């Protein structure tokens, strides 16, 4: 009997002991799906004489929205552990977050700098000055930007204890309030990497998974190069992956810039606001509502590392509910990186310009280099006068003639007051981004113009090229020659213009946009009445037979209106001399088209030994037969000849297509002599640099071919040349545009 009594006593003692201490144990797995109601006793203050661990958390926890007074300071908002006697979850120490109102507190602000605090603070162990500063921070709204981070952690310990308490599970409404508070604190104190890490993991691993329906609230825009994605962003991307939902543009942007593996480059740093706008616009254009990704299924348990020493180390948390988070990749999807690369590439020239001209991001020069998507009403303000002048001229018309000074006066000039070829390229690019084409355009072989000279502006068609095709280059040469003879009688009739443009368009296989530019070029030629300079160089590669066919074509164009004036004959004679045709051949070509003269009747062809047997009209007869109204021509014959002019146009296309031909690939070692290697460059890059000296502008396709011929990657070659240029001169040698613009002043310094 005695043995039975003793056994009963032992059993009762064990039961009583477990009942007494069960609130101090933490299960190895916490099930976040459990929910308990919170009793009114949560707001009761504990007895100051209660022994350690004799009270429950519910008796010392101040719930959200409540206030409490400690040491003469009123603390609003609750979410504090205030009282006496609460033990840490693990071990026999006092709960670090417990604010014991009986402990001494200094008067005044206390140790606001945190002097004397140690790494794992506990309210019961810090000094009176630290308690004063901590309570001051709490009573002032927990928002002082310069607060010592140890005080923020001390408050954070209490939030961890409430959310993870093993005995009193936290209800959803309190979890939501704690989540709001943690997000608010992260917005204020994320500059502390330690706090951002602990609070971020608390959100990601403890709070947000237990609130699956709660919207994700993003913090401020992140900077690249940080430790990684913020916890809210990670959770947001994980949810999108789990639900196969589109990732909103702003989340995708923050994912890109905060991921250390993203290749951003200088433009994304120097032009951060512009990069963000461009990325968001193109993201929407490419992915609509957003990119969808697939993640990996996550574990149903999480090993959580609390910030508070109350837990004694890492704990395991079991996630409740059916929804399992998915883990996103460490990097970003290739489609996002491609989008980043395109945005960075299109901002490269603008970024370099800002590097040389800091503070001028709103200038006309900067505007010319911006991607079109970034040119809005505010950015266009510096060119409002230009746009107004163009629109006034275009009212009811396809083309507008404006003085060159309208453009030149708005453009920033260099220290010497002059504009280089790259400046004229910039002007054409600026108008292109505003939706206008310009003639003359240096990118299409046009000359630089002066303030007093007229230029022609027109609306660009969608998809208009920004550089000339070989066919277009040949067409402009033909147009130049034809305009000279057509203008010889003082005007160009609409019939002459239409004949010329129609047949050039057909024979050269020009697109609609090229035809539009060609017509603008003709209007500019008509307004400026160009001379004969440059003609000889354009046709010097033609054979004698090819030149003769060209001469026949020019006579046909001159007579397209059915009449050939004496002034037109005179200019044809000069052109024949320039392009290497015997001027005597002109009269045979004219005779082939003529039937009669208005003033002297039909031209009689009289065979004679004294006359050339190649044609039936002598130069003297032609002069006397061309009266005031000129020579009447056979319009049917003219039309037939114009149809044959396609062969002439194709001939010139072949000539000009080979004008800028790239030399065949050569071995790198033979590219340059040892003494010609440029400082900072190897033989291949040195040879490439010297080849660039041949021209001011290099169409991107031709530069790529040239770089490939030297076994160089085009993009890397540009960067390498500019890096060397910065080392030697402090400026880039190549503007990475299309066409590439070569700075010959910098190039000269490099190879000198």
Contact 93, 122 (CB under 8 A): yes
More confident residue, 598 or 57: 57
Six-digit token pair at 350? 């603008």
SS (H, E, C) 491-508: CCCHHHHHHHHHHHHHHC
Span of 283-292, 412-421, 743-752 with lowest mean pLDDT: 412-421
Has residue 621 got a pLDDT over 70? no
- Residue 578 predicted with pLDDT over 90: no
C-alpha 88/C-alpha 98 separation (Å) is 9
Which pLDDT score is estimated for 488? 63
Tell me yes or no: is domain 468-659 CATH 1.10.1140.10.
no
The separation between the first and the last C-alpha atoms of the chain, rounded to the nearest angstrom, is 114
Other C-beta atoms closer than 10 Å to the C-beta of 362 total 11
The stretch 214-224 carries a mean pLDDT of 56
Residue spans per domain, the chain: 29-318, 357-464, 468-659, 668-751
Residue 686 CA to residue 668 CA, distance in Å, equals 10
Structure-token pair, residue 50: 């209660």
Q: Is the pLDDT of residue 37 over 50?
A: no
704 alpha carbon, distance to own chain's centre: 22
Give the whole-angstrom CA distance, residue 172 versus residue 646.
81
pLDDT, tens only, 277-333: 999 999 999 999 998 887 766 666 778 899 999 998 888 887 654 344 566 667 788
pLDDT attached to residue 383: 78
CA gyration radius for the chain? Answer: 41
Nearest-10 crossing angle of helices 231-243, 249-258: 130
Residue 210 has pLDDT above 60, yes or no: yes
pLDDT at 129: 92
Cβ neighbours of residue 503 under 8 Å, at least 6 residues apart? 642, 643, 645, 646, 649
CATH class of 668-751: mainly alpha
pLDDT band at 351 (very low <50, low <70, confident <90, very high): confident
pLDDT of residue 44: 37
Average per-residue pLDDT for the chain:
75
Query: Would you state the torsion angle of the CA atoms of residues 404, 406, 410, 414, taken in this order, to the nearest 10 degrees?
Result: 20
d(CA 165, CA 168): 6
**If phi over 0 gives left and psi between -120 and 50 gives alpha, with beta otherwise, what is residue 142?**
left
Average pLDDT over every residue of 661-674: 41
- What confidence score (pLDDT) does residue 38 get? 26
**Angle formed at CA 327 by CA 324 and CA 328, multiple of 5 degrees:** 140
Distance CA 510, CA 508 (A): 5
């Amino acid at each position: 009997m005695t043995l039975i009594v003793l056994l009963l006593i032992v059993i009762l003692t064990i039961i009583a002991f477990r009942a007494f201490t069960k609130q101090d144990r933490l299960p190895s797995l916490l099930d976040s799906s459990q929910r308990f109601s919170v009793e009114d006793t949560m707001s009761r203050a504990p007895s100051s004489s209660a022994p350690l661990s004799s009270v429950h958390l519910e008796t010392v926890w101040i719930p959200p929205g409540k206030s409490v007074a400690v040491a003469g300071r009123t603390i609003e908002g609750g979410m504090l552990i205030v009282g006496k006697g609460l033990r840490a979850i693990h071990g026999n120490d006092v709960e670090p977050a417990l604010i014991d109102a009986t402990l001494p507190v200094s008067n005044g602000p206390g140790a606001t700098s945190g002097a004397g605090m140690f790494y794992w603070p506990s309210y019961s162990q810090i000094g009176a000055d630290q308690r004063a500063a901590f309570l001051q921070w709490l009573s002032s709204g927990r928002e002082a930007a310069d607060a010592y981070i140890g005080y923020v952690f001390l408050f954070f310990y209490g939030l961890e204890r409430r959310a993870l308490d093993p005995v009193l599970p936290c209800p959803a409404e309190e979890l939501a309030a704690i989540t709001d508070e943690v997000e608010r604190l992260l917005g204020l104190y994320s500059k502390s990497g330690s706090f951002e890490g602990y609070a971020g993991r608390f959100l990601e691993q403890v709070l947000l998974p237990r609130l699956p329906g709660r919207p994700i609230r993003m913090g401020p825009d992140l900077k690249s190069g940080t430790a990684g994605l913020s916890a809210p962003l990670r959770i947001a991307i994980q949810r999108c992956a789990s639900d196969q939902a589109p990732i909103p543009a702003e989340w995708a942007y923050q994912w890109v810039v905060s991921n250390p593996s993203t290749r951003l480059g200088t433009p994304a740093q120097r032009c951060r606001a512009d990069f963000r706008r461009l990325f968001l616009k193109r993201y929407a254009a490419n992915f609509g509502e957003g990119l969808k990704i697939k993640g990996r299924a996550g574990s149903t348990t999480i090993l959580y590392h609390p910030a508070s020493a109350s837990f004694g180390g890492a704990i395991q948390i079991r996630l409740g509910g059916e929804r399992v988070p998915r883990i996103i990749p460490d990097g970003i999807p290739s489609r996002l990186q491609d989008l980043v690369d395109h945005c960075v590439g299109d901002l490269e020239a603008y970024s370099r310009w800002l590097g040389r001209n800091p503070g001028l991001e709103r200038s006309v020069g900067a505007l010319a280099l911006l991607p079109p998507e970034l040119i809005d009403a505010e950015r266009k303000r510096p060119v409002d006068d230009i746009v107004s002048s163009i629109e006034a001229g275009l009212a009811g018309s396809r083309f507008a003639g404006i003085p060159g000074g309208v453009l030149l006066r708005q453009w920033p000039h260099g220290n010497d007051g002059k504009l280089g070829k790259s400046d004229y390229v910039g002007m054409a690019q600026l108008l292109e981004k505003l939706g206008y084409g310009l003639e003359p355009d240096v990118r299409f072989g046009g000359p630089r113009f002066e303030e007093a000279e007229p230029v022609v502006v027109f609306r660009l068609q969608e998809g208009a090229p920004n550089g000339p095709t070989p066919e277009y280059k040949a067409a402009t040469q033909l147009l130049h020659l034809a305009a000279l003879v057509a203008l010889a009688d003082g005007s160009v009739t609409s019939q002459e213009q239409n004949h010329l443009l129609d047949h050039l368009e057909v024979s050269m296989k020009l697109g609609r946009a090229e035809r539009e530019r060609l017509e603008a070029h003709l209007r500019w030629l008509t307004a400026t009445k160009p001379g004969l300079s440059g003609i000889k160089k354009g046709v010097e590669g033609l054979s004698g037979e090819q030149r003769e066919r060209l001469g026949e074509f020019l006579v046909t164009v001159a007579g397209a209106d059915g009449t050939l004036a004496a002034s037109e004959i005179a200019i044809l004679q000069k052109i024949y001399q320039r392009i290497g045709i015997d001027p005597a051949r002109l009269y045979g070509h004219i005779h082939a088209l003529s039937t009669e003269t208005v003033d002297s009747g039909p031209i009689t062809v009289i065979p004679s030994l004294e006359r050339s047997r190649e044609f039936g009209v002598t130069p003297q007869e032609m002069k006397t037969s061309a009266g005031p109204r000129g020579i009447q021509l056979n319009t049917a014959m003219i039309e037939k000849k114009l149809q044959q002019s396609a062969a002439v146009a194709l001939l010139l296309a072949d000539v000009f297509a080979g004008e800028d031909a790239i030399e065949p690939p050569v071995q790198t070692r033979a590219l340059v002599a040892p003494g010609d290697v440029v400082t900072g460059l190897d033989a291949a890059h040195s040879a490439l640099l010297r080849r660039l000296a041949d021209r001011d502008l290099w169409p991107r396709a031709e530069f790529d071919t040239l770089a490939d011929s030297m076994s160089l990657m085009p993009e890397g070659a540009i960067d390498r040349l500019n890096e060397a240029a910065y080392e030697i001169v402090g400026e880039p040698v190549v503007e990475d545009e299309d066409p590439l613009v070569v700075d010959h002043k910098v190039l000269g310094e490099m190879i000198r």
